[in-house]
Chains A and B, each alone.
With several copies, the nearest count.
Chain A
Amino acid sequence: MTEIRIQQADFEPGAEIAALEDSGGAAGAIATFIGMVRGDGGLISMTLDHYAGMCESEIAAHAMEARKRWPILALRIVHRTGKLAPGDRIVFVGVASAHRQAAFQAAEFLMDYLKTRAPFWKLEQRAGEETWVSARNEDDASIRRWQ
C-alpha cells in the first residue's frame, strides 16, 4: 500500500503510524520521519507553493523507485502546503518493511528527494521581508548518494 497526500491541513503522526502498523503482520520495522518548520533567523512563517498534479505524480514516481530498491510493505507520504509557522509539521514519511535497514534507507531516500528535488517552492517571511528560497546546489550530496 502506497498513500501520498499533499494537503493544507495538519496531519496526526500517530494515525499515520497506526495505518502503517495495520499493513499485514509481516512488518517488523517502521521507520518514520517528521519534518517541522524551524524558527531560525527570525522566521515568522513559511509558505509552500506546489504544482498540484505534477507534484503528486513526481512523488509517486519516487515512491515506486523506493519500492524497486527495497522490500517495502507499506509507505505513506503526507506533505503540507500553504502558510506554516515555526513548530508546524511540514512532512511525514513512513515506511513499513520486514527489516529495519530497508525501512530506514527507504525513508531517508524519500526524504532526501522531498527536501531537494520535489516540485515545491518556499517563501520565507521575516520581519519586513519576504524571500523566495533559492534552489540548493542541484548536486546536493544528500541526493547524489542514491544515484
Chain B
Amino acid sequence: MKLLYFAWVRQKIGKPEEQLDMPPSVTTVSTLVDFLRQRGRGYEEAFRNPALVRVAVNQQHTDFNAVLRPGDEVAFFPPVTGG
C-alpha cells in the first residue's frame, strides 16, 4: 500500500511517502492509523489527535471508516488551506 503524507503530517512522520505491506488487521483507514501509530514516535505524534487529520484514498477525499484494498494510495494531511 502506498502512503503519502503532507504538510505537518509529513514533517512529524519525517518522510513524504512510503510503500508498506499491511498486516491482516488493517482493513480500514481507522485500523491503518492504529497500525501506523505503533511504528514510532513520529507516527504517534502525527496521529495523536486523529480529528486533526484528513484522508484521501486513491485521490478521493473520504473518512476514517473507508475500507482499504491492497494497492490503494492513502494520503494523510491536515485540512486543506487553499493556495
Interface residues of B, count at CB 8 A: 15
- Assess whether B35 is interfacial by the CB under 8 Å rule: no
In the assembled complex, which residues on chain A have CB atoms less than 8 Å from the CB atom of B75?
51, 54
Report the Cα distance A90→B10, complex, angstroms: 22
Cβ < 8 Å to A, chain B residues 33-83:
56, 59, 75, 77-83
Contacts of B8 in A (CB 8 A): 132
Q: Are A120 and B80 touching (Cβ within 8 A)?
A: yes
Interface pair A117/B82, CB less than 8 Å apart = yes
In the assembled complex, which residues on chain A have CB atoms less than 8 Å from the CB atom of B10?
Answer: 49
Assembly CA distance A35 to B4 (angstroms): 28
Which residue on B lies nearest to A122, using beta carbons?
Answer: B81
Residues of A within 8 A of B22 (CB): none
- In the complex, A133 Cα to B7 Cα: how many Å? 10
**In the complex, are the beta carbons of A51 and B81 less than 8 A apart?**
no
Q: How far is the CB of A105 from chain B (nearest CB, A)?
A: 19
Given contacts A121-B6, A132-B7, contact A51 B77 (CB under 8 A): yes
- Closest residue of B by beta carbon distance from A143: B82
A residues with a Cβ closer than 8 A to B are 35, 48-51, 53-54, 57, 79, 90-91, 113-123, 132-136, 138
Top 7 A-B pairs, shortest CB-CB distance: A135-B79, A121-B7, A54-B59, A120-B83, A115-B82, A116-B82, A119-B80
